[in-house]
Amino acid sequence: MNSLSLIFTVITVAVFAVQTSLQVNSSASVYSEDPNIIFPYVKCPAGNFFGRILTSRLGRWYNEFRGIPFAQNPKRFEPSVLAKPLEALYDARNHKAACPQPGLAAVSEDCLFLNVAYPHKD
């Protein structure tokens, strides 16, 4: 198995694990300093996350959680290890650095993060 297919397999398994383990409580929300702003909140075995409510190009609302760590930062050329569950509430509103590749400025070898989106329900 080459490294590209291994990475794809790990990401596919991680996405499947996140999708199957999300226990979304639609009534739960996290408030910022401004009481008029509401953030979606997800509690799952990996931790507690708050994200953003966004609008698609088609005008549909969706919840998005960005930069969720799914593996610990590995040593170079070593297999990654699944991330430990987070104890503190995790701010998943912003993207993390991308993996090194030509043409991108904000890159890092610490790039094992997931972005998860799903339709928003009132």
Give the mean model confidence (pLDDT) for residues 89-93: 94
State the CB neighbour count (10 A cutoff) for residue 112.
22
Q: What pLDDT is recorded for position 87?
A: 92
For residue 10, the one-letter residue type is V
Residue 84's pLDDT band, with cuts at 50, 70 and 90, is very high
Domain borders along the chain are 3-119
What does R_g of the chain's alpha carbons equal in angstroms? 16
Whether this prediction's pTM lies above 0.75 is answered by no
Q: How far apart are CA 77 and CA 53, in angstroms?
A: 37
For residue 28, the one-letter residue type is A
- Whether the per-residue pLDDT at 74 is higher than 60: the answer is yes
Q: How far apart are CA 110 and CA 69, in angstroms?
A: 10
The closest alpha carbon to 90, from 46, 38, 27, belongs to 46
Instruction: Report the percent of the chain where pLDDT is more than 90.
Output: 36
Query: Are 71 and 83 a contacting pair, CB within 8 Å?
Result: yes
Q: How far apart are CA 52 and CA 66, in angstroms?
A: 9
- Whether the per-residue pLDDT at 9 is higher than 50: the answer is no
- Whether the per-residue pLDDT at 10 is higher than 80: the answer is no
Query: Are 63 and 51 a contacting pair, CB within 8 Å?
Result: yes
Indicate the range of 6-15, 60-69, 111-120 predicted with least confidence.
6-15
For residue 114, the one-letter residue type is L
